[in-house]
Amino acid sequence: MSTRSPRRAPRAAKRRPSRAIAVTGAFGFLGRRLLARLEADPAVDRILALDLKPPPGLLRKTAFVRIDLASPRTDVQIAAALREEKIDTLVHLALFFNPIQNAAYAHEVEVVGTRQLLAAAEAAKVKALVVCGTTAVYGARPDNPNYLREDAPLRPPRQSRYMSDKLEVERQVAAFAQAHPRTSVAILRLGSMLGPSVKNPATRLFGRALVPVILGRDPLMQFLHEEDAVEALHRAVMAKAAGPFNVAASGVLPISSIIQLLGRTPLALPAPIAQASLAALWSTFGIGTPPSWLDYLCYLWVADGSRASTELGLRYQYTTRETVLAFGAIGRARQAPSAEAILGA
Amino acid sequence: MPGSVAEPVTEPLWEPAGAPVSRPPSPPGFPAAPELLETAGTRFRRFMEQRLPALVEGVARSWIETLGLTAVPVEVSDVDAFGMSQEFVERWQPVLARLLSDYFRAELRGLEKLPAEGPAILVCNHSGVLPYDELLLKVAVRESGGRNGSPGRDIRPLSEDFAINAPFAGSFLNRFGLVRASRDNAERLLRAGHIIAAFPEGTQGIAKRYENRQRLQRFHSSGFVELALRTGAPLYPVALGPIGLLPLPSRWNIQVGDAIRASGGEVAAEDRSTVARVTEEVRAKLQGMLTALTSVRRSADSPASGTRRRSAAAGRSSAPRR
């Protein structure tokens, strides 16, 4: 048994401060913030931080175990650590938010790493699992409805290896949930994020003075503030949520309005030229974004985040417009707050 | 050699036409000590960090201004949940209303029947090859006016995929209030209390042959009836005419029929026979309105051809095709 006392009380009842939570990717930009919240949460008894990097500072409730999801047989190591700390909830954040050049390594971390983690969760019999996903897995398609619900088909661009890894993680997590009905398995599909510390294709696109857009295309877009993402993760962990949840702020804005709000200059390129330049930059210089991502600038991929509101009680602090304005206020010189600054607070 | 790389860039030989490039203040006559120590590498890095972005931006700005290449027809500051911008609608409404009254010489009838608030479904025929009727119906309803001189309601026509996804036109239509036709979108709009306009003939209605232009095509979808049953929204048949291949400057009619209230709720929406019966009721009413509209119009235009066409149209409508 991984818990000290049998948990027979209904989920809604006031919980004793006995939660033990493990977080992978604990010192990434989301993990650091989640850890700070869990540290401050009196309902959390202890935390197990799993990451490649050592912790940036001293933490009160947190124990640290160094893991490398890309190396073989990490599952044994993780399972041992989970058992030792009597972990009840495992949060998986050791995932990429940004496509990287080394697709083979990304695959190892995302797909093989998640498989190992799920094996460890099974071996240690955790009660709840929260995995971080993305609404980009729905894919940007001309025939998408204006608001994608959690049951919408997942149709990301086929050529993108980053996206096929994300899709594979979704499949693995869904299969795990089906095989383990007694474990609450939640996947939080986070909307495209903008914020002070996140680095992703959107922050790169809108961080520049000159924003390349597709000529004649002006789709509605939606942005999530990273604070809301952390809030959603925290709530999902505490509520032992189950199933897929879109975490997507209310409100939409066309790309042109976002560029206007941020005071940037749009550079409208015909689609074939944009495609060719992206392909050249990505494959030759290893910079930018894979060309298969252009669809996300052409078509709708706005998600309906209301399920997270009703079932997790999540109150989005930022609308899309407020997220964009907050991002604009950071300015071009973006400085990620140091881990010490967050955790020391 | 790094020196030759840095040379042309510290003092660019040409400036882009258009927006001025911000230039750091020129160094004093005698270089300060740190500048003497500055290597070609740091000069190059300073160029990459400070001068190049400004240079590229200047060139791009002038290019954009010269060629008029901006992302969209008109920039807007905010949109509603389905992409309509009030600001955009107000800007384009007078232009399009003028087109409707002067070019199409539109005759609007029965628009006062539409509810002042709450959801409703307009069931319309497609009047031509191009989906411009979706846009013009929206213009007409807004133009017809609400109480005490305010503009009419902003209806949300459900548009064909190819129109709403067309480059340039698609974002124009979306900012003006059109929404991609899908059941999910329609239901969300109705639940939010909007009036939607459905074109249940689908693309068939646009692609119909010229000799069949009077004939309402088989309804591609009866989803609008299910939605009406589920949400309790009244159905209004709306006849748009004349039916033409191209947007010719012929006299236009927009006629709103009496409301059909489909009751029964969720249970009836699941029942195929109820859905089929209401669908047929709406279709028959709309076909009747279209037939009447055309015969009146034909006889007014030229009496001789009018009689012939009237009988032809009447003959068709008596045996509706399935």
pLDDT attached to residue B39: 67
Interface probe, candidates A267, A277, A295, A322, chain B, greatest B C-beta count within 10 A: A267
The percent of residues in chain A predicted with pLDDT above 70, rounded, is: 90
Which residues partner with A64 through β-bridges?
A49
**Alpha carbons A210 and B61: distance in angstroms, whole number:** 9
CB of B188 within 8 A of CB of B129?
no
Cβ contact B69–A253 (<8 Å): no
The percent of residues in chain B predicted with pLDDT above 70, rounded, is: 62
Question: At A344, is the pLDDT very low, low, confident or very high (cuts 50, 70, 90)?
Answer: very low
Contact residues, chain B, for A215 at CB < 8 Å: 69, 71, 167
Which residues does A313 contact at the CB level (< 8 Å), separation at least 6?
A: A235, A239
Picking from A274-278, A328-332, B287-291, which range would have the lowest pLDDT averaged per residue?
Answer: A328-332
- Give the residue-averaged pLDDT of B173-177: 93
pLDDT tens-place string over residues A128-153: 999 999 999 999 999 999 999 999 99
**Alpha carbons B38 and B45: distance in angstroms, whole number:** 11
Contact residues, chain A, for B70 at CB < 8 Å: 256, 266, 268
The token duo for B89 is 């609608």
Mean residue pLDDT across chain A: 88
Cβ contact A257–B79 (<8 Å): yes
Minimal Cα distance from B159: which residue of A? A143
pLDDT attached to residue B251: 74
CB of A226 within 8 A of CB of A193?
yes
B61, B79, B188: residue with CB nearest A220: B79
pLDDT tens-place string over residues A222-270: 999 999 999 999 999 999 999 999 999 999 999 999 998 998 888 888 8
CB of B187 within 8 A of CB of B84?
no
Cβ contact B79–A254 (<8 Å): yes
Give chain A's end-to-end CA distance (angstroms, integer). 35
Helix (H, G, I), strand (E, B) or coil at B272: helix
Beta-sheet strand order (sheet of B156-159): B107-109, B253-256, B235-241, B120-124, B195-198, B156-159, B179-180
**Alpha carbons B238 and A237: distance in angstroms, whole number:** 52
Q: What predicted TM-score, i.e. pTM, was given to this entire model?
A: 0.79
Picking from A194-208, B111-125, B199-213, B303-317, which range would have the lowest pLDDT averaged per residue?
Answer: B303-317
Measured on CA atoms in the order B109, B113, B117, B123, is the torsion positive or negative?
Answer: negative
Helix (H, G, I), strand (E, B) or coil at A189: strand
**Alpha carbons A34 and A307: distance in angstroms, whole number:** 21
On the CB side of A324, CA atoms within 13 Å amount to 27
Going by C-alpha positions, the residue among B262, B259, B318, B263 that lies closest to residue B288 is B318
Cβ contact A217–B167 (<8 Å): yes
Cβ contact A260–B83 (<8 Å): no
pLDDT tens-place string over residues B53-70: 777 766 666 555 545 444
Measured on CA atoms in the order A259, A264, A268, A273, is the torsion positive or negative?
Answer: negative
Q: Which amino acid is at B47?
A: F
Which residues does A197 contact at the CB level (< 8 Å), separation at least 6?
A: A29, A226, A336, A337
pLDDT higher than threshold 90 for residue B317: no
The complex scores an ipTM of 0.86
**B21/B65: higher pLDDT:** B65
Alpha-carbon B67 to chain mean position: 26
